[in-house]
Amino acid sequence: MEKRCKCADGNFDNCPYPEVLKIVKERGFKDESPTERIDCPHQMWIGSGGIPAYKFTRAEWETYQRESTLCLYKKGND
């Protein structure tokens, strides 16, 4: 069964799968240096995929994520 991810906001403090979290390097947002972020392979994003974060400012990206995506756990990862 799919359920809304507790960590959809990017806060992994209460992640139910901390053992699978990994740090990935990525190009930064507009006007920012490259950065590292936490990635969780148990998250599945619904919405427009393949849009790179570097085309957005951080505020634009956070708004986009809130309004245009739904983060769910993949089936079988209760």
Instruction: Please count the structural domains in the chain.
Output: 1
Q: How many CA atoms lie within 13 A of 33 on its CB side?
A: 2
Determine, yes or no, domain membership for 60.
yes
Of 58, 21, 16, nearest to 38 by C-alpha is: 21
Q: Which domain holds residue 42?
A: 18-73
pLDDT score, position 22: 92
Determine, yes or no, domain membership for 42.
yes
Most confident listed range (12-16, 17-21, 39-43): 17-21
Determine, yes or no, domain membership for 66.
yes
Alpha-carbon gap, residue 78 to 64, rounded angstroms: 27
Determine, yes or no, domain membership for 6.
no
Alpha-carbon gap, residue 27 to 15, rounded angstroms: 24
Of 11, 2, 6, nearest to 62 by C-alpha is: 11
Determine, yes or no, domain membership for 46.
yes
Span 20-74, pLDDT tens digits: 899 988 887 888 888 888 888 777 666 656 677 778 888 888 887 777 766 666 5
